Amino acid sequence: MERELQNRLRWLPHEAPPSARRESRQRMAAALRRAIAALIATDPAPADLDALSELAEKLADRLESGPEREISYGFAESANADTPRFEFDASPLMGPGNPIAPPLQMQWKDDCVVGTAVFGQQYEGPPGHVHGGFVAAAFDEVLGMAQSLSGQSGMTGRLVVHYRKPTPLHRELKFEGRVEKREGRKIFTTATLHDGETLCAEAEGLFIQVDLARLERFARGD
């Protein structure tokens, strides 16, 4: 019992306190996010692109020459966390410190989680609309956060997405997710995606509770 408690305490996520390093990382991620969006949405002259490429290559060289970041055995995504209050800076969907994240902004209530996101041009699938794969990935994150409301955490066992209407770019979209039921280690969740009053998609997720000590070994590659 004591060993199990120690394993759990190692994995309990905590709200990350503000820090100069964290704020600087988020600032840089925001700038890179803007650059990615601008590269897709604009049509610079070849000479301008060549000049910008040199700057980008120097930036990449400088970043790659720095010290490696410590491997975190915490949670990189909401599906594996015990609480939605954890700060997922590196999440590819929610992370303010990850330039490929929209980012998805999440809030939680007693019986559901609510998220908002604006997908830019870099997420385009059908003309003027979000690629369905990004919609599915966002649902996985929303449902992963919702399942933590059950008091347990697990990994995605099944994700089913029903696309009702094309999901527009450059609009504030609203996600809502909740837990439907639990059956042993199985946690059943549902979520919706709206553009205003328009239902764009619905999703159902099954999460399988995983022993936290096993999850830590998985993260270490043991």
Q: Please tell me the chain's helix, strand, coil percentages from 3-state DSSP, rounded to the nearest 5.
A: 40, 25, 35
What is the mean predicted confidence (pLDDT) over 3-10? Answer: 36
Beta strands in the chain (DSSP E): 105-108, 113-117, 154-163, 173-183, 186-195, 198-209
In the prediction, which pLDDT does 150 show?
Answer: 86
In the prediction, which pLDDT does 68 show?
Answer: 83
Low-confidence winner among 23-37, 64-78, 177-191 (lowest mean pLDDT): 64-78
Tell me, what amino acid is at 40?
I
- Cα Rg, the chain, nearest whole Å: 19
pLDDT tens-digit readout, 161-178: 999 999 999 999 999 999
In the prediction, which pLDDT does 110 show?
Answer: 79
Q: Say what the pTM is.
A: 0.82
Low-confidence winner among 61-70, 80-89, 162-171 (lowest mean pLDDT): 80-89
Superfamily grouping for domain 1-222: Hotdog Thioesterase (3.10.129.10)
Is residue 78's pLDDT more than 60?
no
Burial annotation 173-189 (CB, 10 A radius, 16+ → b, else e) = bebbbbbeeeeeeebbb
Instruction: Tell the residue number behind the tokens 């059943």, with chain if given.
Output: 188
